[in-house]
Amino acid sequence: MQRLTHFLISHMIAGRKTGPVRPATLADVSRAAGVSASAVSMVLTGRGAARISKQTQRRILAAAKRLAYRPNLLARGLANQRLRTLGVATLMQAGELSYDFLEILNGILTSANRYGQNTSILSLRDWNCDSGGLRRFCDGRIDGLILVAPTLDSTLSTLPDHFPIVAIHPPRALPGIVNIECDEEEGAFALVRHLVAQGHRRILHLTGPAGHIGSGRRFRGYLRALASARLSFDRELVATSGFSADIGRAAMRAWLGRHARNPPHAVFCVSDAAAIGCLEALTEAGLRVPDDVSIAGFGDSPAARSIIPPLTSVGWPLAEMGRRAVELLLTRVEAPVGTQNPLPTSVAYPAELIFRASVGMRPSVGGGRSSPGSMMRMPISYPATCLPRAAAPVRAAGSDSGSANHCPTAISA
């Protein structure tokens, strides 16, 4: 009689057509199988199932299948103090996500999937003004947080205390957080030295907005390269620009308006987008790239590869940085509470020069121009602590860049 009652109840539950049907719970399976909830839990989780008879196990499994029971992963995660979800926070600029963020996100998702983690994304309007949203994001929704290009104030008041956090490309090292960076200054230094090696002496730099940390790093690399080549710094060869094509175009037009009779030998732009705008302004002025003026950008964006002529640039392993961020964050998440943090405070990846047709030798030097279809990659030499590709030959286009061994340098506190 009891089995007949449970059979009728289960069919009444499954056969209802009116209103939304809620998911079956552990209690529903317990009632349908005529056993306790603890017995159902032991059978469905496999923990202690040996204490339940085979006949009862079959009855429980049949009831779970009949009711389409699915375990409540959130409840299970709370019981294990793990949600298996990692958060990613970034700034939404002008209603768009940047190419750099999408490349980093690709690496994050790839690594998260590999380790069986879910990913939740929080877009911010302002790092410091959206502190409430950032704190709520970390309040029981995620196990750890990855900050992408955070510009936080020095107090870090927007971040929750004692929460696993990794930052990718912060403007400065954030205390108590693992910081993953790329050596922008060294990349800019190597690029400007390459321009000098091509015979260029009047090298204009379209720099980023004042106060931007990344722009400042690239400017320092520019200055170091001039000093190492014993070239005098000329303030007239620095123009404030920005990171977009529109601002780069306007900055180049304004500079040419003041120096129409004495154009630069080469232009180093703070970003690829600014370099594309610069190229358009030079073309409007009747100057050919690279025959009359060479141009180089920074970031190795997809546009740098598709524009004509293709743009010489500095690349960084964005996807690899995203993958590494997940690994470092999971190490912190899984560390026992109260243990000393074994991770480095900073991980620095080397940059890479990508030679394309927008840079050629200065004609008066007698070199000619680059082939429009040519593209080569050159690793930047680093100290012996990290030689990512110092011994490798320069690789031409078409070689497998995906197998590159980007070697980060770990810097402990």
Range of the domain at 405: 184-318+350-411
Structure tokens that stand for 92 in this block: 């939404």
DSSP state of 164: -
Residue 260 resides in a domain? yes
Residue 305 resides in a domain? yes
pLDDT of residue 81: 55
Residues of the chain with pLDDT under 70: 1-22, 47-48, 71-82, 93-97, 153-158, 161, 336-344, 364-413
Residue 108 resides in a domain? no
- Single out the residue in 11, 45, 71 at which a domain terminates: 71
CATH of the domain at 258: 3.40.50.2300
pLDDT of residue 154: 55
**Same domain (yes/no): 272, 394:** yes
CA separation, residue 413 to residues 180, 223, 294, 344 (Å): 14, 28, 41, 7
Residue whose token pair is 């890479």: 352
pLDDT, one tens digit per residue, over 195-252 is 999 999 999 999 988 877 788 999 999 999 999 999 999 999 999 998 889 999 999 9
Residue whose token pair is 């939740």: 120
- Single out the residue in 39, 71, 103 at which a domain terminates: 71
- Single out the residue in 53, 71, 89 at which a domain terminates: 71
Give helix 26-33 / helix 54-66 axis angle, nearest 10°. 120
pLDDT of residue 402: 38
**Same domain (yes/no): 215, 363:** yes
**Same domain (yes/no): 188, 67:** no
Residue 160 resides in a domain? no
Split into its structural domains, the chain has a count of: 2
**Same domain (yes/no): 67, 197:** no
Residue 263 resides in a domain? yes
Residue 103 resides in a domain? no
Which pTM value belongs to this model?
A: 0.66
CATH of the domain at 26: 1.10.260
Residue 100 resides in a domain? no
Residue 201 resides in a domain? yes
